């Protein structure tokens, strides 16, 4: 049988993907939203429609402070990953002339990703510890007399690990957009007497905006959802929203965890919506 | 290139032939023996007692295949409460039992089928170590050890014919210290919050256990007087957490730990000099050649006990195999294995046969070692002349101040605990 109606054909083509998305994305989220209104005892959850979980979430000072620290981690990590990512991408895209060299150097950037996230994170612990390599080196150089306590189990170590883990997610999309910039534009800028900084600010930066946005979305969502890094690198001394959820799950408080997850999801969506105001990603892709 | 594998060797063919012959002449028992070889029991529990050596030995002795999964306490609770069909045997702690039993995922055990029931130490039956000792506070194992009849969701107040868990392992916990970095005697729980150890103390981040350690500290400091440390009122919880929150903000703690390895690393790297710790973790630090002491304290110990529970979906031949396994468990080999790591066996009598006189003297009787003491895996734990910390079995287990617990106000406590961690 030949399908003549083009609309019908279009719909049919979209069906498989729609089904997959409904089954594995929409349905779980709907389930989480439903459970977030349920109640829980020590060992069971029971269907109900109550606002207890949300009331606690929005009423607790602790939850507020945890959300604030989540944003703090996301913002500071973003600043560093952007600064480093942009510089690296700029260097790769505009200072390396041969394509082979660009590819080779780009591959070098990915070397750390040959081991798992957790291993890369945990290997910081002996390095930064009280008697770790960093402190011993600084002491032997005579820079400090006493080991620096704040190197490990502090916000410093958490952000350091985040930056280490996620900078590549910034490098890749920025590098990608930079590569697509027409080099003649840069020449034109120079011919018109623009300084290097002016070219960067008025030509390169606007043209790389989509890459920056995509990188930002990666980094911000990853940092906001990551709880393992916060737990290990702060020695469990700090918390972000992810840890709140994982603690709840560990203690069988699924409805409370679901409510927190819903709030986190909404927060992340709002952040992304705001970011998308700055750039039309669909046009750029 | 490797040769293709031959499916049957001559030997297995002969064996199979012999079995077939025997099966045709003596059908029933032979079939049964064939079947037990295929039985697989899935066991999960904390890393403390889910050891591959046990699985290996039970395969040798009984032919049962035991599949082990080791998890942390919270994951154990979760799995037992939410995935009843994912296991046959749950190796859980008594305080977890209080959360898990009401879900109906475990079935009661018939005491009359347990061979060594009479030899199980009193703590798990009447709550008393010896007729004279007091029963400690908290979720003492005997209070959640029995139910009136199969299917009951609440615990019996006395011994009955139906047990929730078969006790296997227990110990008395205290603080671990680094004597080389502290350089003076430590004899009270209150030292954990001593400003002298600012930035060098730690406590574990498992609320049900951590709150008990906190309570031992607050009581020792004279800050809070508890009716029952294992069942605090909201007010007592508030006071306890407030004291620790203040210490946390003042920078008393270096880190909190959740897993065994974390506690070992904190101590071995010198990040921490005093922390709540578990006995095998001390052993692990010591085996790296670092001085570490499981310090007995004047206020006594915080104790825990574990046991084996049967999944409610077990029946028929698997159930029989599970009973065989439990009887084997209490018959001594495992007990000896556990006791040679510093834990106590629920049936010490039978373990004795699997330990040397030196080992029994050192671990159980608190006597000086007459020769090197090694762990079951061969690490040296003590030299000749060393004495176990805390004295003999009766002295240690007799000084238990409280058991790990689940309180009536548990949910409130957990919320406060999260606030403490997030503060």
Residue indicated by tokens 């989509």: A210
pLDDT in the model for residue B351:
94
Instruction: Show me where the domains of chain B are located.
Output: 10-172+303-354, 175-299+392-422
Maximum Cα–Cα distance across chain B: 79
User: Mutating which of B101, B418, B420 best tests the A interface, going by the most A Cβ atoms within 10 A?
Assistant: B418
CB contact under 8 A, A153 and B269: no
pLDDT of residue A114: 84
For B371, other C-beta atoms within 10 Å of its C-beta total 14
Contact (CB<8Å) A247/B269: no
From chain A, pick out residues whose CB is under 8 angstroms from the CB of B270: 129-131
Which residue, among B105, B242, B255, would best test binding to A if mutated, counting the most A CBs under 10 Å from its CB?
B255
| Interval A55-89: pLDDT, tens | 988 988 888 989 999 999 999 999 999 999 999 99
B198 touches chain A (CB under 8 A): no
Cβ neighbours of A44 in B, within 8 Å:
81, 103
Q: What is the rounded CA–CA span in Å between residue B349 and residue B34? A: 33
For residue A125, the chain B residues in CB contact (below 8 A) are 265
Bridge partners (DSSP) listed for residue B307: B92, B167
Cβ separation A42–B410 shorter than 8 A: yes
Cβ contact (<8 Å) for A153 and B257?
Answer: no
Model pLDDT, residue B380? 83
Please name the residues between 56 and 85 in chain B that touch chain A, using a CB distance below 8 Å: 74-75, 77-78, 81-82
Q: Which two tokens stand for residue B63?
A: 């032919």
Does ipTM come in above 0.95? no
The residue length of chain A stands at 285
Within an 8 Å CB–CB cutoff, is residue B317 touching chain A?
no
Option in A60, A131, A252 nearest B77 (CB): A252
Give how far the C-alpha of residue B85 lies from the chain's centroid of Cα atoms, to the nearest Å. 23
Query: How confident is the model at residue A236, as a pLDDT?
Result: 86
Q: Where are the beta strands (DSSP E) in chain A?
A: 39-40, 45-46
Q: Which two tokens stand for residue A185?
A: 């534009």
What is the SS3 assignment for chain B?
Answer: CCCCCCCCCHHHHHHHHHHHHHHHHCHHHHHHHHHHHHCEEEEEEECCCCCHHHHHHHHHHHCCEEEEEEECHHHHHHHHHHCHHHCCEEEEEHHHHHHHHHHCCEECEEHHHCCCHHHCCHHHCCCCCCCCCCCCEECCHHHHCEECCCCCCCCCCCCCCEECCEEEEEEEECEEECHHHHCCCCCCHHHHHCHHHCCCEEEECCHHHHHHHHHHHHHHHCCCCCCCCCCCCHHHHHHHHHHHHHHHHCCCEEEEECCHHHHHHHHHCCCCCEEECCHHHHHHHHCCCCCCEEECCCCCEEEEEEEEEEECCCCHHHHHHHHHHHHHHCCCHHHHHHHCCCCEECCHHHHHCCCCHHHHHHHCCCCCCCCCEECCCCCEEECCCCCCCCCCHHHHHHCEEEECCCCCCHHHHHHHHHHHHHC
By C-alpha distance, the chain A residue nearest B104 is A43
Distance between CA atoms of residues A242 and B345, nearest Å = 39
| A246 vs B contacts (CB less than 8 Å) | none
Look at A250 and B78 and tell me if their CB atoms are within 8 Å: yes
B227 contacts chain A (CB < 8 A): no
Distance from CA of B194 to the nearest CA of A (A): 18
CB B286 within 8 A of CB B292: yes
Question: pLDDT truncated to tens, each residue of chain B (423 aa)?
Answer: 344 444 444 444 444 444 444 444 444 434 444 456 678 999 998 877 888 889 999 999 998 999 988 887 778 888 888 888 899 999 999 988 888 898 899 999 999 999 999 999 999 998 888 887 888 888 899 999 999 999 888 999 889 999 999 999 999 999 999 999 999 999 999 999 999 999 999 999 888 889 999 999 999 999 999 999 989 999 999 999 999 999 999 999 999 998 888 899 999 999 999 999 988 888 889 888 899 999 999 999 999 999 999 999 998 889 999 999 999 999 999 999 999 988 999 999 999 999 999 999 999 999 999 999 988 888 888 889 988 888 899 999 999 999 998 888 888 898 898 889 887
Q: Which of B78, B254, B270 sits opposite A131 (nearest CB)?
A: B270
B78-B79-B82 Cα angle (round to 5): 80
The overall average pLDDT reported for chain A is: 89
Q: Of chain B residues 260-279, which have a CB less than 8 A from chain A?
A: 265-266, 269-271
Q: B269–A236: do the CB atoms touch at under 8 Å?
A: no
Which chain B residue has the Cα nearest residue A40? B411
Sign of CA dihedral A93, A96, A100, A105: negative
- pLDDT tens over chain A, length 285 residues: 555 677 888 888 899 999 999 999 999 999 999 999 998 877 777 888 888 889 988 988 888 989 999 999 999 999 999 999 999 999 999 998 888 999 899 888 888 788 888 888 888 999 999 889 999 999 999 999 988 989 999 999 999 999 999 999 999 999 999 998 988 998 999 999 989 899 999 999 999 998 999 999 999 999 998 999 999 999 888 888 998 888 888 777 889 899 999 999 999 999 999 988 877 767 665
Q: Residue B349 and residue B330: Cα distance in Å, rounded?
A: 10
Percent of chain A predicted with pLDDT > 90: 55
CB atoms A239 and B100 under 8 Å: no
Asked if the Cβ–Cβ distance from B269 to A253 is below 8 Å, we say no
Mutation target vs B (from A35, A39, A41, A43; most B CBs, 10 A cutoff): A43
Return the CATH superfamily for domain B10-172+303-354. Answer: Periplasmic binding protein-like II (3.40.190.10)
pLDDT at position B23? 44
Residue B256 touches chain A, beta carbons under 8 Å = yes
Q: What is the pLDDT of residue A283?
A: 66
| Exposure letters B151-190 (e unless 16+ CB within 10 A, then b) | eeeebbeebbbbbbbbbbbbbbbbbbbbeebbeeebebbb
What pLDDT, on a 0 to 100 scale, did the predictor assign at position A244?
Answer: 87
Q: Does B244 touch chain A (CB under 8 A)?
A: no
Q: Do A42 and B82 touch (CB under 8 A)?
A: no
B423 chain-A contacts, CB cut-off 8 A = 62, 65
Contact A247 B100 (CB under 8 A): no
Which residues of A have a CB under 8 Å from any CB of B? 42-44, 56, 60, 62, 65-66, 125-126, 129-132, 149, 152-153, 231, 234-239, 243-244, 247, 249-253
CA-closest candidate to residue A174, choices A91, A255, A111, A250: A91
Does A62 contact B199 at a Cβ distance shorter than 8 Å? no
Nearest to B92 by CA among B105, B104, B80, B108: B80
Q: Which residues of B touch A64 (CB under 8 A)?
A: none
Architecture of domain B175-299+392-422: 3-Layer(aba) Sandwich (3.40)
Using a CB–CB cutoff of 8 Å, tell me whether B423 touches chain A: yes
pLDDT at B14: 45
User: What is the structure's pLDDT at A109?
Assistant: 86
pLDDT at A284: 60
Domains of chain A (ranges, CATH numbers): 61-284 (1.10.3720.10)
Element (H, E) at B274: strand B274-276
The model's pLDDT over A157-194, given as tens digits with 9 standing for 90+, comes to 999 999 999 999 999 999 999 998 988 998 999 999 98
SS3 B294: strand
CB pairs under 8 A between A and B: 81
Q: Do domains B10-172+303-354 and B175-299+392-422 have the same CATH topology?
A: yes
If you measure CA to CA, which chain B residue comes closest to A56?
B415
* CA distance to partner chain B, nearest, from residue A84 (Å): 30
Using the Cβ of B199 and the Cβ atoms of chain A, whether some distance falls under 8 Å is answered with yes
Give the distance from residue A53's alpha carbon to the nearest chain B alpha carbon, in angstroms.
Answer: 12
- For residues B332 and B346, is the Cβ–Cβ distance under 8 A? no
* Residues near A152 by beta carbon (within 8 Å), at least 6 away in sequence: A124, A125, A128, A129, A130, A132, A233, A235, B271
């Amino acid at each position: 049988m030949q399908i003549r109606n083009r609309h019908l054909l279009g719909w049919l083509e979209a069906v498989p993907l729609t089904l997959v998305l409904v089954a594995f994305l929409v349905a779980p989220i709907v389930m989480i939203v439903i459970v977030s209104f349920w109640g829980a005892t020590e060992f069971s959850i029971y269907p109900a429609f109550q606002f207890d979980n949300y009331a606690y979430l929005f009423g607790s000072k602790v939850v507020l402070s945890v959300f604030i620290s989540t944003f703090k981690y996301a913002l500071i990590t973003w600043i560093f990953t952007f600064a480093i990512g942009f510089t690296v991408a700029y260097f790769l895209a505009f200072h390396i002339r041969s394509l082979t060299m660009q590819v080779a150097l780009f591959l070098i950037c990915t070397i750390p990703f040959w081991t798992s996230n957790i291993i890369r994170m945990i290997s910081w612990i002996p390095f930064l510890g009280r008697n770790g390599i960093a402190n011993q080196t600084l002491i032997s150089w005579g820079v400090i007399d006493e080991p620096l306590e704040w190197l490990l189990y502090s916000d410093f170590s958490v952000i350091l690990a985040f930056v280490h883990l996620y900078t590549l997610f910034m490098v890749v999309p920025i590098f990608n957009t930079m590569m697509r910039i027409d080099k003649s534009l840069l020449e034109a800028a120079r011919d018109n007497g623009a300084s290097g900084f002016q070219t960067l600010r008025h030509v390169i930066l606007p043209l790389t905006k989509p890459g920056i946005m995509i990188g930002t979305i990666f980094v911000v969502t990853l940092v906001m959802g990551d709880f393992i890094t916060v737990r290990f690198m702060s020695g469990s001394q700090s918390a972000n929203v992810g840890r709140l959820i994982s603690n709840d799950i560990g203690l069988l408080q699924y409805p409370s965890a679901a409510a927190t997850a819903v709030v986190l999801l909404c927060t992340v969506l709002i952040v992304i919506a705001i970011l998308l105001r700055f750039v039309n990603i669909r046009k750029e892709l | 290139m490797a040769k293709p594998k031959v499916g049957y060797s001559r030997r297995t063919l002969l064996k199979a032939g012999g079995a077939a012959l025997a099966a045709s002449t003596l059908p029933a028992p032979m079939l049964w023996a064939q079947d037990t070889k295929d039985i697989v029991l899935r066991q999960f529990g904390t890393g403390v007692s889910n050891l591959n050596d046990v699985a290996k030995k039970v395969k040798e002795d009984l032919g049962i295949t035991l599949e082990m999964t080791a998890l942390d306490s919270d994951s154990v609770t979760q799995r037992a409460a939410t995935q009843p069909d994912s296991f046959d045997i749950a190796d859980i702690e008594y305080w977890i039992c209080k959360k898990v039993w009401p879900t109906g995922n475990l079935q009661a055990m018939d005491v009359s089928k347990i061979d060594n029931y009479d030899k199980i130490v009193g703590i798990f039956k009447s709550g008393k170590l010896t007729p004279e000792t007091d029963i400690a506070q908290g979720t003492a194992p005997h209070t959640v050890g029995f139910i009136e009849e199969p299917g009951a969701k609440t615990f019996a107040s006395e011994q009955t014919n139906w047990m929730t868990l078969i006790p296997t392992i227990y110990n008395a916990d205290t603080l671990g210290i680094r004597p080389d970095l502290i350089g003076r005697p430590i004899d009270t729980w209150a030292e954990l919050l001593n400003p002298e150890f600012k930035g060098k103390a730690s406590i574990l981040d498992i609320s049900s256990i951590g709150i008990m350690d906190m309570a031992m500290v607050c009581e020792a400091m004279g800050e809070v007087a508890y009716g029952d440390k294992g069942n605090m009122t909201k007010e007592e919880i508030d006071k306890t957490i407030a004291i620790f929150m203040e210490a946390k903000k003042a920078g008393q703690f270096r880190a909190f730990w959740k897993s065994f390895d974390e506690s070992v690393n904190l101590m071995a790297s010198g990040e921490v000099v005093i922390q709540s710790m578990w006995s095998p973790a001390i052993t692990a630090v010591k085996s790296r050649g670092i001085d570490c002491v499981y310090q007995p304290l004047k206020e006594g110990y915080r104790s825990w006990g574990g046991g084996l529970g049967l999944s409610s979906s077990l029946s028929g031949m698997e159930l029989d195999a599970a009973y065989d396994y439990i009887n084997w468990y209490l018959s001594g080999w495992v007990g000896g294995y556990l006791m040679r790591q510093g834990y106590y066996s629920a049936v010490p009598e039978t373990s004795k046969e699997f330990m040397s006189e030196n080992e029994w003297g050192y671990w159980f009787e608190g006597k000086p070692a007459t020769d090197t003491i090694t762990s079951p895996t061969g690490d040296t734990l003590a030299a000749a002349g060393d004495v176990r910390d805390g004295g003999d079995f009766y002295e240690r287990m007799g000084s238990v101040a409280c058991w790990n617990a689940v309180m009536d106000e548990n949910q409130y406590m957990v919320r406060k605990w999260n606030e403490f961690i997030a503060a």
